[in-house]
Amino acid sequence: MAISFEDARRLILTAVKPLGYEQVPLLNAAGRVLVEDFHAPWDMPRWDNSAMDGYAVCAVDAATRGDLRISGYIPAGCTELPPVEPGCAIRIMTGAPIPPGCALVVPVEETEERDGKVRLLTSLRVQDHIRFQGEDIPAGSKVLAAGTLLRPPEISLLASFGQSLVSVHRRPRVAILSTGDELVELGMPLGTGQIINSNALSLAAAVREAGGEPLLLGIARDTLESHREKLAQGLNADVLITSAGVSAGDRDLVRDVLQELGVEQKFWKVAIKPGRPTAFGVKGGTLVFSLPGNPVSTMVTFEMFVRPALRKLQGVTPAVLPLDRALLSEPVRKRPERMQFMRVQVRHDQGRLLVSSSGDQNTGILSTMVRANGIVLLPADRDRLEAGEEVDVLLLDRSVPESGPDISNRFRCAH
């Protein structure tokens, strides 16, 4: 009996616990997830400083249009700060500390300098163009929360606070195994009836994109001995992903050998299309995903089941990527009682998202996956949806183009 898509994903995420942590150099922390809250060890900025290249002046001279004597120069990084006296101005650079007596900074473009004097061309207010100590981030405040994905802005912030090492969740080690006598590895000559093991490479690319470390186990041939050897090796990883060999044919050996090796099966068969024979199990701390062998089914089930698990293993929240709402641009028929994942082209049109099929939805048509930048989740309880109905779509590419007459060609170029 096939379980629902929602129940399958719930069982998976219930079984996932975030991995332990490790300390890594800050540069290597990009794309990783912070383990603990980070609090500012000091004020940011650490001192009052100039927001502009210009002149530091006293409050009494702020409204004057007269000439002020230039009495000094303060570059960024200066440690000796001469005071600003009434009737004087000090040339100051962006980021330089504010000297004693300074009430504001006048931008250089609002002045005229001649013969050692400067004339202010505009009236300014006290405190203009000064960045004050702690105005961005006060010391002790929580700057980053545990679970934060470290992007370039977060790396910059941590570097600004002197963090050379960062505690992040460990990357999951993901073993990838393809099965079948018909498979040959990339670069090997192809015989009659043989196909290239492309699933291993697409899965490895997806794992790496999701933050994991792919470990390619090669191909398990259609014998119990080959399956035992390869699957036992894969169970040493944090996650094991197999493709093919999970249906009910004479050579579909994956489930039987996994059971023999002590894997507790949580489910087999999900009421979805494509991907019905997907299975999931656990042995100790290893998550085991058995995906269908068809390349389209493999990629779709990875997005729906494996990627959320990899995100949760790394402490990313939310584990499940959010769905967007979009309008169907054409009617759709589907088989009832199964959720269907339709590969689609998503585009912006007058402030809305519109979706249309990326082509033949047969799981043997790989080109429709190449052209797709989204997957629409068609409800299990519907057999027909009309043009203009609102649906949930998982965006595979956040760079959604505007509508245009050449939309199909643009997708082909982009992917």
Same domain, 156 and 286: no
Per the structure, the complete domain to which residue 105 belongs is given by 49-131
| The model's pTM | 0.83
**For residue 319, is it within any domain?**
no
Same domain, 256 and 183: yes
Same domain, 270 and 185: yes
Same domain, 336 and 284: no
Provide the b/e sequence for 62-87 (b: ≥16 CB within 10 Å): beeeebbebbbebeeebeebbebbee
Same domain, 235 and 264: yes
What would the two tokens of residue 343 be?
A: 């590969």
Q: Which of 248, 279, 313 is the last residue of a domain?
A: 313
- Give 385's strand partners: 332
CATH of the domain at 251: 3.40.980.10
Same domain, 285 and 339: no
Same domain, 25 and 165: yes
Instruction: Classify 233 as helix, strand or coil.
Output: helix
User: What was the pLDDT predicted at 403?
Assistant: 67
Same domain, 165 and 226: no
CATH of the domain at 121: 2.170.190.11
**For residue 89, is it within any domain?**
yes
**For residue 333, is it within any domain?**
yes
User: What was the pLDDT predicted at 250?
Assistant: 58
- What is the count of structural domains for the chain? 4
User: What was the pLDDT predicted at 405?
Assistant: 41
Spatial contact of 366 and 341, defined as CB atoms under 8 Å apart: no
User: What was the pLDDT predicted at 138?
Assistant: 97
CATH of the domain at 409: 2.40.340.10
Q: Which of 292, 313, 334 is the last residue of a domain?
A: 313
Q: Residues 70, 75, 76, 80: is their CA dihedral positive or negative?
A: negative
User: What was the pLDDT predicted at 406?
Assistant: 41
User: What was the pLDDT predicted at 411?
Assistant: 34
Spatial contact of 5 and 339, defined as CB atoms under 8 Å apart: yes
Same domain, 279 and 370: no
Instruction: Classify 365 as helix, strand or coil.
Output: coil
Report d(CA 102, CA 123) in Å as an integer.
15
User: What was the pLDDT predicted at 412?
Assistant: 33
Q: Which of 150, 169, 188 is the last residue of a domain?
A: 169
Mean pLDDT by 10 residues, the chain (415 residues): 95 96 95 94 96 95 85 93 95 96 94 93 90 96 94 96 96 96 90 91 96 96 94 98 81 89 96 95 97 94 98 93 95 92 94 93 89 96 94 89 51 32
User: What was the pLDDT predicted at 350?
Assistant: 86
User: What was the pLDDT predicted at 336?
Assistant: 87
Same domain, 120 and 141: no
**For residue 38, is it within any domain?**
yes
**For residue 270, is it within any domain?**
yes
* Structure letter (DSSP) for residue 53: S
CATH of the domain at 144: 3.90.105.10
Q: How many other C-beta atoms can be found within 10 angstroms of the C-beta atom of residue 327?
A: 15
**For residue 318, is it within any domain?**
no
User: What was the pLDDT predicted at 177?
Assistant: 97
Same domain, 217 and 305: yes
**For residue 380, is it within any domain?**
yes
Give the CA distances from residue 324 to residues 170, 332, 342, 386, 405, in Å, rounded to whole numbers and listed in that order: 30, 18, 14, 18, 24
User: What was the pLDDT predicted at 1?
Assistant: 83
Which residue blocks in 57-188 are alpha helix, DSSP H? 152-160
Same domain, 272 and 374: no
Report d(CA 4, CA 347) in Å as an integer.
29
Omega before 45 within 30 of 0, i.e. cis? yes
